[in-house]
Structure 1
Amino acid sequence: MAEDEKSGEPATDNNELQVFKELVDELYNFRDCYFETHSVEEAGRKQSDVAQEMEKTLKKLEEKEDVYEHKTEFLLQKGRCLNVAPGFSAVAEKCLSRAVKLEPGLVDGWNTLGEQYWKKGDLIGSKNCFTGALQQSKNKVSLRNLSMVLRQLPAVNSDAHSKQVMESVDMARLAVQLDVTDGTSWYILGNAYVSLFFNCGQNPQLSQQALSAYAQSEKVDRAACCYPELHFNRATLFQYEEMFGCALEGYSRAAALDPGWEDPPEKEKTLLEYLEKVTDLVQKKGTVKARRLRNMLSNLNTSALGPCSSPQFRSPTGRVGSLEPRTLSSLSHGHNAGVAALGKVVFSMASEGRMSFAFGMVDSEETCMVVMVYNTANSWGVLIGDSVVIPEPQLKRHSITHKDKSFDFKSIRVDSPLLLIVNGKKQNVNSQIAASVSYKPQCE
């Protein structure tokens, strides 16, 4: 029998082992490109269809197990086959552990074993596998998986966590650099930027980098358009950026692509309810009766401006000088420099997950507008009847249509309660805390 010069194994064995690899590659292609051959209406069947294909592939492998059970390549492919399922497999772990013991330089073995440890909840073991694989060879799979693990690892304090997040961004960037046509790497880079955005000061540039990475993921890889996690994570960022229509579409798309995942439809429903409540309260000017509202507004005067009336007042943009009080109706869209909005609180509400704290403000003309304040501590809020001044307000018009619902209202965005003047006073530093949102890592 002829032998393969490189491996020293019989050529027929190598040929058959190559067939096993191709079978498992086809299985992954079936899972990852499912919606290229199936409609979104069939999404509910995806998990069972993949499980069925996995069983077929596993059966073909096991027919030859007696012959190849001690071969590294066979153990690798059996482990990879079982790893296609979303949950942990003890059999896969055993196969892959044996494979890397037989061949410590087996990068695919270390990467797949790392994914099994991830699914098992052993993040340290997972990190060690990916790090070990990188010591053998610099590769995109280890880099992007390490990026995900670094963001999930517990940290002793916030500084250590921020450092891990920044390191995870570096890993994801390196993965993209190794193959700019890999949609999964771009998607994971997008997630890394989202995490960095919420952990390191919410720099708008990071938000744009995240959205660009997600867009690039879809551009270079058709399969990426069908990642429910991509649509969900991007929708979470859209919601924080007050791009509510895009957020609703993203949650809806994620729900359609993975009908068994409860979070997307729940987020969509909660956001719709929030928008309905906000628009209703704005139209009604809260629940304050007309007589009480007139009494509240009768004592609304420029004394409420507090420090904003001082020539030494420094605006959020760095401008120094007193601010001119303006009515809500006179504000222009976008940033209103050199002016301040002044009004009375007529309702307040925290959004789901306290992504923002919203309150309704009525001015001297009885115009009502919603104010959305971000990065508020749980203990912070405003009460009905409070006087509020918003220096250099950022005005936005929302016109949203989603399914059979429509919303049209204006809002003022405030990135921190420290920017507000409440009852003539600046807010203390304890009123602010960094916002946090949840997103789904793909490997989970």
Structure 2
Amino acid sequence: MDKKEKHDDSSSNKIQEEMCVLEDNVKKLYEFRDHYFEHHAIEEAALKDQRVQDKLQETIRHFHNFDCSKMKPEARARYYYLLGRAHDVLSSHSPEAETALAKAVKLDPQLVEAWNQLGETYWKRNNVKEARNCFQGALNKKKNMVSLRNLSILVRQEHVATHEEKVKNIEEGLELARQAVEMEASDPESWMVLGNAYLATFFTVQQNPRTLKLAMAAYKRAEADAVGKNNPDLHYNKAVALKFEEEYASALEEFARACELNPSWDTPSSQQQQLIQYLDSTMDLVQSRGRLKAKKLQAFLQSIETKQLGPYEGGQYTAPNGLSVKLRLQPLSSLQTGINCEVVVLGKVICSVRNDDSVPFTFCLMDKDKSVCTVTVYNIASGKGVIIGDSVAIPEPFVTHVSFTYNSKKYSFTSIRVDNPLVMVVNCKKVGRDKLA
């Protein structure tokens, strides 16, 4: 081997060693960010962003001590990818990250990691079209979970003209998220994206409680990892799912946890306050019987008659599975937690409960014994809910007895959940399909 070959080998080894050092420093930067709360108290959450910024500056100094001009294109591409990835550690857009990553993919168009990272920088400045091109291009080069989960989010967020197109995108996003999880079942971020995809399916395709359970199962898998456990986005999304499962106490705790982990993020706090207002209003309206005057309430009580059961007056009905089910009229006070088989309840609508969310439609129902409960109705079209004075019959009601204390206030009321409005009888008639969302 001549002197030139020895020199080239020595130079190549040195570059490899230095690149390994850079890789290690960038890895440590992301570990510092992602594992921050394993080494710092929750009270130091407000200091996290500045500390990550300081760690970034420390990491960048290693790059400044490195001359990449004499490297081969592939090595230089790797250098710029690592530099760009370091700059992209913050939640805000970094022009330095975008510049470095653009150089990386130009030097080595096959560098999938750089395409994915570049896509994230475009995304941070709301250039969704270019972000999607980057993720799709990376996926075309090599199937990978980062491209899959990012495309899952972008496809679901895409603005489309019709509801049918939206449903199609939600279903495509769900499939992409499933594929991401299949590629690496231990990745917490992919599990969180899958949970979000199920949540989007609940709101857009059908408000099915089973879909919420699938979302919660995915969030629990994400939370099993230390990185997922301390992710404010995860706790926020989990809180949303719990709210629509009507697990109100747990939802409030998850919103609070998201606030603790990211004190500068206002959305969890505002959502928590909205839920508290909804619960306060529900309690007030149940206890005050809709704030109706005694004369009005008495008139409603006297107007409740068994003929208002409509098709259920005969003591049976045909269930969604086609089977004939016997029914007996029972007072609200006798309802048990869960599904009350072979039971029908009847009452008058005494008020609706204001809700900043369009889902569910909530009203208070009073029966012949003056017992009052709330009814939460899912899958009903906006503006198609019941009004004060309507008679409502509900077969085999699914009941929750809400009872918990939060911030020293006791919440206690009975709630009936109706996932399929078609089973309700309003003013002697079954709810029609024209009322469905």
| Alignment: residue pair count | 430
The reply to whether residue 145 of structure 1 matches residue 150 of structure 2 is yes
- Using the alignment, how far apart are the partners of 1:390 and 1:431 within structure 2? 16
Contact kept? 2:209, 2:245, Cα under 8 Å: no
1:298 to 302, 305, 310: 302
Q: Do the aligned partners of residues 3 and 83 (structure 1) sit closer, same or farther apart at CA in structure 2, a change above 3 Å counting?
A: farther
Matches within 5 A, 1:110-125: 110-125=115-130
2:102 to 97, 117, 131: 97
Q: CA deviation at 1:335?
A: 1.5
Q: CA deviation at 1:77?
A: 1.4
Deviations 1:242-266 (A, max 9, x none): 1111111110111110111111111
Look up the equivalent residue of 2:310 and give its one-letter code.
G
Return the TM-score normalized by structure 1: 0.90
Q: Which moves more between the two structures, 296-305 or 166-175? A: 166-175
Matches within 5 A, 1:28-107: 28-64=30-66, 67=69, 71-107=76-112
Contact kept? 1:3, 1:11, Cα under 8 Å: no
1:246 is aligned to 250
2:198 is aligned to 193
SS at match of 2:284: helix
Deviations 1:71-119 (A, max 9, x none): 2122111211111111222332222112111101111111101111211
Contact kept? 1:315, 1:391, Cα under 8 Å: no
Look up the equivalent residue of 1:120 and give its one-letter code.
R
Q: Do the aligned partners of residues 106 and 239 (structure 1) sit closer, same or farther apart at CA in structure 2, a change above 3 Å counting?
A: same
Look up the equivalent residue of 2:383 and give its one-letter code.
S
The reply to whether residue 344 of structure 1 matches residue 345 of structure 2 is no
Contact kept? 1:315, 1:392, Cα under 8 Å: no
- Using the alignment, how far apart are the partners of 1:415 and 1:204 within structure 2? 8
- Using the alignment, how far apart are the partners of 1:95 and 1:249 within structure 2? 41
Q: Do the aligned partners of residues 378 and 201 (structure 1) sit closer, same or farther apart at CA in structure 2, a change above 3 Å counting?
A: closer
The reply to whether residue 375 of structure 1 matches residue 379 of structure 2 is yes
- Using the alignment, how far apart are the partners of 1:414 and 1:317 within structure 2? 16
SS at match of 1:180: coil
1:17 is aligned to 19
Deviations 1:15-34 (A, max 9, x none): 22222222111111111111
Q: CA deviation at 1:174?
A: 2.3
Q: Do the aligned partners of residues 202 and 4 (structure 1) sit closer, same or farther apart at CA in structure 2, a change above 3 Å counting?
A: farther
- Using the alignment, how far apart are the partners of 1:75 and 1:19 within structure 2? 14
- Using the alignment, how far apart are the partners of 2:8 and 2:210 within structure 1? 54
- Using the alignment, how far apart are the partners of 1:323 and 1:419 within structure 2? 13
Q: CA deviation at 1:371?
A: 1.1
Q: CA deviation at 1:206?
A: 2.7
Matches within 5 A, 1:141-220: 141-219=146-224
2:370 is aligned to 366
Matches within 5 A, 1:128-139: 128-139=133-144
1:353 to 353, 357, 368: 357
Fraction of identical pairs, as percent: 38
Contact kept? 1:68, 1:74, Cα under 8 Å: no
- Using the alignment, how far apart are the partners of 1:363 and 1:128 within structure 2? 58
SS at match of 1:87: coil
Contact kept? 1:323, 1:338, Cα under 8 Å: yes
Q: CA deviation at 1:154?
A: 2.5
SS at match of 1:121: coil
Contact kept? 2:35, 2:227, Cα under 8 Å: yes
Look up the equivalent residue of 2:127 and give its one-letter code.
D
Deviations 1:291-313 (A, max 9, x none): 22112211210121122225784
- Using the alignment, how far apart are the partners of 1:428 and 1:298 within structure 2? 27
- Using the alignment, how far apart are the partners of 1:10 and 1:30 within structure 2? 30
- Using the alignment, how far apart are the partners of 1:201 and 1:427 within structure 2? 18
- Using the alignment, how far apart are the partners of 1:318 and 1:248 within structure 2? 39
- Using the alignment, how far apart are the partners of 1:385 and 1:317 within structure 2? 31
Gaps of 5+ in 2: none
- Using the alignment, how far apart are the partners of 2:292 and 2:377 within structure 1? 21
Contact kept? 1:343, 1:387, Cα under 8 Å: yes
Deviations 1:191-218 (A, max 9, x none): 2222223333234433222211111122
- Using the alignment, how far apart are the partners of 1:40 and 1:388 within structure 2? 49
The reply to whether residue 429 of structure 1 matches residue 404 of structure 2 is no
Deviations 1:251-296 (A, max 9, x none): 0111110111111111111211211221121112111122221122
1:440 is aligned to none
Q: Do the aligned partners of residues 412 and 204 (structure 1) sit closer, same or farther apart at CA in structure 2, a change above 3 Å counting?
A: closer
SS at match of 2:18: helix
Q: Which moves more between the two structures, 263-272 or 138-147? A: 138-147
Structure number with greater CO (CA < 8 Å, separation at least 6) is 1
SS at match of 2:399: strand
Q: Do the aligned partners of residues 273 and 178 (structure 1) sit closer, same or farther apart at CA in structure 2, a change above 3 Å counting?
A: same
Return the TM-score normalized by structure 2: 0.91
1:232 to 230, 233, 236: 236
1:288 is aligned to 292
Look up the equivalent residue of 1:163 and give its one-letter code.
K
Q: CA deviation at 1:414?
A: 1.1
Q: CA deviation at 1:425?
A: 2.3
Contact kept? 2:240, 2:251, Cα under 8 Å: yes
SS at match of 1:354: coil
Look up the equivalent residue of 1:296 and give its one-letter code.
F
2:268 is aligned to 264
Deviations 1:340-360 (A, max 9, x none): 211111111232212212111
- Using the alignment, how far apart are the partners of 1:223 and 1:417 within structure 2? 40
The root-mean-square deviation of aligned C-alpha atoms, in Å, is 2.3
Q: Do the aligned partners of residues 426 and 4 (structure 1) sit closer, same or farther apart at CA in structure 2, a change above 3 Å counting?
A: farther
- Using the alignment, how far apart are the partners of 1:410 and 1:18 within structure 2? 61
